[in-house]
Structure 1
Amino acid sequence: MTDTLQSTTRALMVQGTTSDAGKSVLVAGLCRVLARRGIRVAPFKSQNMALNSAVTKDGGEIGRAQAVQAQACGIEPSVHMNPVLLKPNTDVGAQVIVQGHALADMDAVGFHNYKKVVMTPIMESFGLLQQQYQTIVIEGAGSPAEINLRENDVANMGFAEKADVPVIIIADIDRGGVFAHIYGTLALLSESEQARVKGFVINRFRGDIKLLESGLEWLEQKTGKPVLGVLPYLHGLMLEAEDAINCQQVEAADHQLKVVVPVLTRVSNHTDFDPLRMHPQVNLQFVGKGQPFPAADLIIIPGTKSVRSDLAFLREQGWDKQIQRHLRLGGKVMGICGGYQMLGETIADPHAIEGEAGVSQGLGYLSIATTIEKNKCLQQTEGTLTMPNQMPVTVKGYEIHAGVTQGVSANAPLQLTDGPDGQLGCDDQVFGTYLHGIFEQQGACDAILRWAGLEATQTPDFDEIREQGIDRIADTIEEYMDLAVIWPQWADKFKR
């Protein structure tokens, strides 16, 4: 590998000192910066572990962060942008998805050994993207300094070495100890890996930069590598989370509708609720283990990777009794995907897809029965939604589920391209659907919130909010990072 960035920045890898250091956000922002300048760019993450996933147009499954990064590039998401996705289904095991499709369930040791095999499709996907785009912005996973995972690594330096790409390392100063994080991470890398690191980015800085300057000078002197930028803390930044639940809510003088979402042990696609977090009339609260439900107008049971075990968890928390009381008092209940299945009469898993084989009794509010099958439904879809006493509205979203549900009538509330979906029950107090992303369209969000009791809805344009979030981080990167050092071949495009 050469010592300069110029010959190697047909790809650039962003690694972090820790999880949640800002890798996903930085990659999205860098992608938007390049796309603004007419450079054909694509995101890439060789291995992702997340229960927030997205569906590509051709029916593949990737990490949600890579779908957002593709949006930042102005391109359609592809399975090759995230060739390996791990979806945890226990504390020690996960479903392994390769190039968009489920391969097998593996425990941690089994997957660690499998990494030698999975590097082949990873490099195949990376090569295909390189043929189509001028440059690739790559996201690492966790930290490259996790020495217990260095052998057979496919997510950080193992991939960087194989693909021969330069690396920048980002660290979150808001956590504290940023210089130790950066210096220690670099010290734990091999000599060839250290040479691959071309600089550092410090993220989420608050305060006067003058107080940081002596530390930056020390870091550059000790490592011989530049600090490429110090990014400020961006309050209220809206960018979909890769995995951790974001409880941040838009400020509003009057939250008129109270919505509660129970956090299940394997909760998935909780980005479904981002439009409600950003809604000025909605007070959205996530309720965790051991917590009772506060007073609410609407309870939404989210999706989950392990429906039967999370249904048992819901009952262990006494939430089933609280849902029953909530309905008795006139409240509304909604279920999405796994939550929809829980609202039915039975959930059967005869093939032990999500755990032990068997049948669980559902909550019994909808007259449906679900069987977990071997083949997963992965598709984008659209159509119309008709809620009680309302006109039909346009809706679109995506489905990710192994369950096949019986009992859906021809006049179901959702009429989608692939057929009817969902059900209303209990005198129209309970509503369930497989459709993820249902709150992202203003009309559909309005219809559901009116059904839940919000009379004069003022739903914002979520697509615009998401675009503004991507633009905001790109603007920040352009202001605070030395992009000409990273991409010298395009230095003229980054003149300030």
Structure 2
Amino acid sequence: MVLMIQGTASNVGKSIISTALCRYFTKKGLDVVPFKAQNISLNSVVSKEEGEMAVAQYVQAVACNKKPSVLMNPILLKPDVEGVQLVVNGKPIKNVESKKYMYSDKEWILDQALKALYKLLEKHELVIIEGSGSAAEINIKDISNMAIAKAVNAPVILISNIEMGGAFAQIAGAMVLFGKFEKSIVKGFIFNKFRGDKSVLGDSPKKFGERFNLKYFGTVEYFKHYLPEEDLFFEKEGIGDLKVDILKLPHISNSFEFEPLFLNTNAKFVENIREDVDLVIIPGTKSTIFDLEWVKQRKDQINGALLNGAFLLGICGGYQMLGKKIVYNGKCYEGLGYLNLKTIFLETKILRNIVAKEMLFNTDVEGFEIHHGRTISHESPFLLYDNGKLDGAIKGRIFGGYTHNLFKNKEFLKKFLNYIRKNRGYNTKDLSLFTLEEEIDRVSDYIIGQIDIKEIENVIGL
């Protein structure tokens, strides 16, 4: 069995609704897996095969009680200043120009995606497929939406963001642009992110659907959630008194890993550092050299924060920037010089899940690495991996390392934040945290409670 969730635009809620369906059908006892042929995202994780995949399919895999696999997201595009890095089956293949990729021959890429999908269909009862962007973009050769749906004859549900207005017109426009067979496999639609009283819609959605032979599966009211997002959203501010400034790098990556900070501190993504900041974070980036120049323009702000007693943390590309030298494409660049490090970029990309002991408080942590650089450190190490490898550096109130997702480790996070709080004159406090499993359950229950899930079961053939 198979079901595909497509959207009338980007950011309409395809990922979160797919996640909710993954959890619901898994709880019903079905063997469910997620799939998205192609994802464009700088928020990625390391799969069970130690390949790279988008965070959205990682979350959906967890919702299905499955270990994340590159089969669930065989094509990943990571844009940077030089174009797009093409990741196929978890491994970087090449860098291509954005325009060339958009309009070039994609038969091989589609073939790779379909091979992965067929493997999942052979092994599992139900595959929940997520589309990409808008399903009806006629100027782009489609390998993510109807090309996939038609290949496996998947019934399609369209998602439209009613918060922005024009939701009815988006559904109607998509149906006009679809071909005859494509129209036949679209079974219905869901309005998402509604604000206000849903009763004002009356029976308009149902009558509208009848014009296009579509079922109206319901309207999901807007709600706040804390699941990792594949897209980057910066207009948010954390809850708390400890001020944490995360530099909003032009090519920031893996921004989802800071969600625990937004729950426990006054965290913000910033372009300019607050004068009374307590912790400055230079996050990961897809374009270290380009973003290094951007950070250098704010070095006086970083120096001022350090003089005022703030802490400084660099993660992955941010860690590389903290050093003295970075060698990229044979050219040597001056780093920020806060740590005695030298980084050399190599063609081979390191992708691995890690288990380690961090050296600040001696707690056990888990995370992952995704990077091209190899760093030589002459500072005290930040992490000791279970294989004996050392990572990162500590020098007073400045530290960093390659390991992503450190803040999901509750014991480390509590000691880390309270260590900074104590040094900065705040009282220590307990954490406000939830597990990914708990948030998936909350989100799924909320969404399933607002849609006609029995009709969707009929569409699948249950």
Q: TM-score, normalised by structure 1?
A: 0.88
Unaligned runs of 5+ in 2: none
The superposition leaves residues 13-56 of structure 1 with CA deviations (integer Å, 9 ceiling, x where unpaired) of 10111111000000000000011111110000000000000101
Among 249, 260, 270, the alignment partner of 1:287 is 270
- Find the aligned partners of 1:136 and 1:26 in 2 and give their Cα distance: 14
Unaligned runs of 5+ in 1: 1-9, 351-356
Q: Which residue of 2 aligns with 1:299?
A: 280
Residue aligned with 2:16, SS:
helix
Residue aligned with 2:384, SS:
strand
Q: After TM superposition, give the deviation of residue 473 of structure 1 in Å.
A: 2.4
Q: After TM superposition, give the deviation of residue 192 of structure 1 in Å.
A: 1.3
Identity percentage over the alignment? 35
Q: Alpha carbons of 1:490 and 1:48: their partners in 2 closer, same or farther (altered >3 Å)?
A: closer
Q: After TM superposition, give the deviation of residue 80 of structure 1 in Å.
A: 0.4
Q: Is the 8 A contact 1:408 1:420 kept in 2?
A: no
The superposition leaves residues 268-310 of structure 1 with CA deviations (integer Å, 9 ceiling, x where unpaired) of 001121110112xx1001113xx45442000000000010110
- Find the aligned partners of 1:114 and 1:325 in 2 and give their Cα distance: 51
Q: Does 1:417 align with 2:400?
A: no
Q: Does 1:69 align with 2:60?
A: yes
Q: Which residue of 2 aligns with 1:6?
A: none
- Find the aligned partners of 2:165 and 2:460 in 1 and give their Cα distance: 34
Q: Is the 8 A contact 2:3 2:460 kept in 1?
A: no
- Find the aligned partners of 1:108 and 1:331 in 2 and give their Cα distance: 40
The residue type equivalent to 2:263 in the other structure is M
Residue aligned with 2:449, SS:
helix
Among 12, 15, 34, the alignment partner of 2:25 is 34
Residue aligned with 1:487, SS:
helix
Among 259, 279, 294, the alignment partner of 1:313 is 294
Q: Does 1:375 align with 2:348?
A: yes
Q: Which residue of 2 aligns with 1:257?
A: 242
Q: Which residue of 1 aligns with 2:318?
A: 339
Q: Does 1:245 align with 2:217?
A: no
The residue type equivalent to 2:196 in the other structure is G
Residue aligned with 1:278, SS:
helix
Q: Which residue of 2 aligns with 1:268?
A: 253
- Find the aligned partners of 1:107 and 1:472 in 2 and give their Cα distance: 41
Among 419, 428, 441, the alignment partner of 1:456 is 428
The superposition leaves residues 404-453 of structure 1 with CA deviations (integer Å, 9 ceiling, x where unpaired) of 001256x512111241111112xx11111111000111111123223423
Q: Is the 8 A contact 1:29 1:477 kept in 2?
A: yes
- Find the aligned partners of 1:381 and 1:108 in 2 and give their Cα distance: 32
Higher deviation after alignment, 80-89 or 204-213: 204-213
- Find the aligned partners of 1:297 and 1:218 in 2 and give their Cα distance: 55
Residue aligned with 2:139, SS:
helix
The residue type equivalent to 1:416 in the other structure is Y
The residue type equivalent to 2:246 in the other structure is V
Among 31, 34, 43, the alignment partner of 1:52 is 43
RMSD: 1.8
Residue aligned with 2:217, SS:
strand
Q: Does 1:406 align with 2:406?
A: no
The residue type equivalent to 1:171 in the other structure is S
1:108-257 to structure 2, matched below 5 A, reads 108-111=98-101, 112-149=103-140, 151=141, 153-234=142-223, 236-249=224-237, 251=239, 255-257=240-242
The superposition leaves residues 326-370 of structure 1 with CA deviations (integer Å, 9 ceiling, x where unpaired) of 1122211000000000000111113xxxxxx52210000111100
Residue aligned with 2:290, SS:
helix
* Count of residue correspondences: 456
Residue aligned with 1:224, SS:
coil
Q: Which residue of 1 aligns with 2:362?
A: 392
Q: Is the 8 A contact 1:442 1:460 kept in 2?
A: no
- Find the aligned partners of 1:335 and 1:247 in 2 and give their Cα distance: 22
Q: After TM superposition, give the deviation of residue 109 of structure 1 in Å.
A: 3.4
Q: Is the 8 A contact 1:247 1:277 kept in 2?
A: no
Q: Is the 8 A contact 2:288 2:317 kept in 1?
A: yes
Q: Alpha carbons of 1:489 and 1:210: their partners in 2 closer, same or farther (altered >3 Å)?
A: closer
- Find the aligned partners of 2:314 and 2:281 in 1 and give their Cα distance: 5
Q: Is the 8 A contact 2:238 2:266 kept in 1?
A: no
Q: Which residue of 2 aligns with 1:5?
A: none
Residue aligned with 1:449, SS:
helix
Q: Is the 8 A contact 2:273 2:302 kept in 1?
A: no
Q: Is the 8 A contact 2:275 2:304 kept in 1?
A: no
